[in-house]
Amino acid sequence: MSSITDISLSECVDSEFVELKRMNYKQNSKDKFWDIVNVHESVSILLYNIDIDAFILVKQFRPPVYLNNGDGFTYELCAGIVDKDMSLEKIAAEEIEEECGYKVDVDRLEKLNSFYSAVGFAGALQTLFYVSVSEKDKIHNGGGVDEEDIEVVNIPIKDAQEFLKSSSYAKTPVLMYAFMWYFAKVSSD
């Protein structure tokens, strides 16, 4: 992982990823407004490696988290934005290969749920998938593409509930939801 230095903030006037808007509306005959960040929809994938009995996560630097905790490295599910004219499953499979290094056919992906994230300012739709993989699916070490700096992290199943409870790791809500889904599924099987 790279070190972070020379931080400064400036106004964002042009971005291909976010757009700031103000929604004006009436609610109960009262004029109101709400500032909104328009962002892409996304996919996220809970990967479980059956050979090593572990979840496969990504660890990466997130500048907004850095501004809040001085570290900025988060543990997340493999994920990506929906910015291509492809099915959600195809985008998910592409992200799995790029970020984690596993080749997965789209028919192996199980759609778990879709929900809205960051509802107070973005309301972006995120679709969550699950797939189990094995070492035979691994084609490279992952790490992302272009300028991405992603570390692939294995969380053994035996340690996953403690990881989930620990406040020592910055985690995303979808990761926590996915782990809880998995443990509820396992306990009902």
In which domain, by residue range, is 177 found?
Answer: 39-188
Return d(Cα 3, Cα 149) in angstroms, integer: 11
Q: List strand residue ranges (DSSP E) for 28-164, in order.
A: 30-39, 42-49, 54-61, 73-76, 78-81, 110-117, 124-133, 151-156
Residue 13 domain flag: no
The total number of structural domains that make up the chain = 1
pLDDT in tens, 27-43: 999 999 999 999 999 99
Q: What percent of the chain has pLDDT over 70?
A: 98
Residue 118 domain flag: yes
The CATH number given to whatever domain includes residue 145 is 3.90.79.10
Residue 89 domain flag: yes
Residue 21 domain flag: no
Give the pLDDT of residue 12.
Answer: 87
pLDDT in tens, 138-188: 999 998 888 778 999 999 999 999 999 999 999 999 999 999 999 998 877
Residue 1 domain flag: no
Do 55 and 48 contact (CB within 8 A), yes or no? yes
Residue 100 domain flag: yes
pLDDT in tens, 79-127: 999 999 999 999 999 999 999 999 999 999 999 999 998 888 899 999 9
* Unique residue bearing structure tokens 């004006």: 24
Residue 131 domain flag: yes
* Unique residue bearing structure tokens 């998995």: 182
Residue 65 domain flag: yes
Give the pLDDT of residue 1.
Answer: 54
Return d(Cα 186, Cα 189) in angstroms, integer: 5
